[in-house]
């Protein structure tokens, strides 16, 4: 009877553990499915869970992407994520708002989608992968060209664009080109480290030399004139500045001789330094 009861308790614990595992999986799936990236502009979106922005603005005008990469099918693919800068012919031009174009030959160029038509989807998290979908490209018979760009976070890459595949869907009347962009700009919230705008020691010394010193001298002379002083007496703290060379010399001598009396230098300078 005791063994039977133990087996029943054990089975009950197994069911509870299984339910917990299924619950955790359901939560994980729900978080992934529920994740969205809200459009900010033509090449940026904001993740719904963290509020971080994924932006390709830094790649707009990138020469490598604009000049094109060669796909495994031998075609050249040109890409510019934000603005209409591609101008490769009547089917791929700024007037058509082309974000990407396929070049199969000198007179065989097609737009794969418009910058203004982009939408964003999250297909994975940790790290996030965002699909930029550019629609309304050049028609191919009854089908319309579009580009699906899988943007992957890769801190070691900047503009690694790869043509992946091309697929024609007769049901949805779409000819879809798939490309992958591995880039640090695909990392949520990534920004290029800013260069320090702080002042270095040399800059501070120059400011003191060329700004503060003239102000100090001008104020001192003005005060001296008000006190009816003339000549070198107009220089503020003249007695200190005139004795400074001897003080420096005496200090240097004192340091090099460890303060010994017979270490050189005139007695006056050594005495003045010791008083300080």
* pLDDT tens sequence across 107-116: 889 999 999 9
How far is residue 37's CA from residue 54's CA, in Å, rounded to a whole number?
9
DSSP string, 177-198: EEEEEEEGGGSTT--PPPPP-S
CATH number (3.10.20.30, 1.20.120.1200, 3.40.50.720, 2.70.130.10) of 36-186 reads 2.70.130.10
- pLDDT, residue 273, reads 42
Residue 262 has pLDDT above 70, yes or no: no
| Mean pLDDT of the region 228-236 | 69
Of 24-38, 150-164, 234-248, the one with minimum mean pLDDT is 24-38
Residue 87 has pLDDT above 60, yes or no: yes
- pLDDT, residue 7, reads 57
How far apart, in Å, do the first and last CA atoms of the chain sit? 99
Which is higher by pLDDT, 29 or 238? 238
- pLDDT, residue 257, reads 72
Hey, how many other C-beta atoms are within 10 angstroms of the C-beta on 116?
12
* pLDDT tens sequence across 29-52: 444 456 899 999 999 999 998 899
Residue 199 has pLDDT above 90, yes or no: no
| Residue pair 85/94 in contact by the 8 Å Cβ criterion | yes
| Mean pLDDT of the region 130-138 | 94
| Mean pLDDT of the region 231-253 | 71
Residue 195 has pLDDT above 80, yes or no: no
Looking at every residue in the chain, the average pLDDT score rounds to: 78
Which is higher by pLDDT, 102 or 8? 102
Residue 133 has pLDDT above 60, yes or no: yes
Query: Domain residues of the chain, as ranges?
Result: 1-34, 36-186, 201-275
- pLDDT, residue 32, reads 46
Residue 21 has pLDDT above 60, yes or no: no
| Residue pair 232/244 in contact by the 8 Å Cβ criterion | no
| Mean pLDDT of the region 5-33 | 51
Residue 158's pLDDT band, with cuts at 50, 70 and 90, is: very high
- pLDDT, residue 67, reads 93
State residue 43 phi and psi, 5-degree precision. -140, 25
| Residue pair 102/79 in contact by the 8 Å Cβ criterion | no
């Amino acid at each position: 009877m005791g063994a039977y009861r133990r087996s029943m308790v054990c089975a009950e614990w197994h069911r509870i553990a299984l339910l917990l595992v299924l619950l955790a999986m359901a939560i994980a799936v729900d978080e992934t499915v529920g994740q969205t990236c809200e459009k900010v502009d033509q090449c940026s979106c904001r993740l719904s869970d963290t509020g971080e922005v994924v932006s390709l603005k830094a790649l707009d005008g990138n020469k490598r992407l604009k000049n094109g990469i060669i796909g495994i099918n031998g075609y050249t693919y040109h890409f510019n994520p934000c603005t209409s800068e591609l101008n490769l012919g009547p089917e791929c031009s700024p007037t058509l708002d082309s974000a990407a174009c396929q070049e199969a030959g000198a007179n065989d160029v097609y737009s794969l989608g418009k910058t203004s038509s982009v939408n964003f989807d999250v297909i994975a998290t940790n790290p996030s992968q965002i699909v930029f979908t550019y629609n309304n490209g050049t028609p191919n018979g009854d089908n319309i060209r579009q580009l699906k760009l899988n943007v992957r976070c890769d801190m070691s890459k900047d503009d690694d664009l790869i043509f992946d595949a091309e697929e024609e869907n007769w049901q949805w009347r779409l000819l879809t080109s798939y490309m992958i962009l591995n880039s640090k700009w695909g990392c949520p919230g990534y920004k290029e480290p800013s260069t320090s705008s702080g002042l270095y020691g040399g800059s501070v010394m120059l400011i003191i030399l060329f700004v503060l010193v003239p102000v100090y001298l001008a104020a001192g002379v003005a005060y001296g004139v008000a006190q009816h002083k003339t000549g070198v007496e107009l220089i503020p703290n003249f007695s200190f500045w005139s004795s400074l060379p001897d003080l420096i010399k005496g200090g240097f001598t004192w340091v090099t001789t460890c303060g010994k009396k017979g270490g050189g230098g005139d007695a006056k300078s050594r005495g003045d330094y010791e008083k300080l």
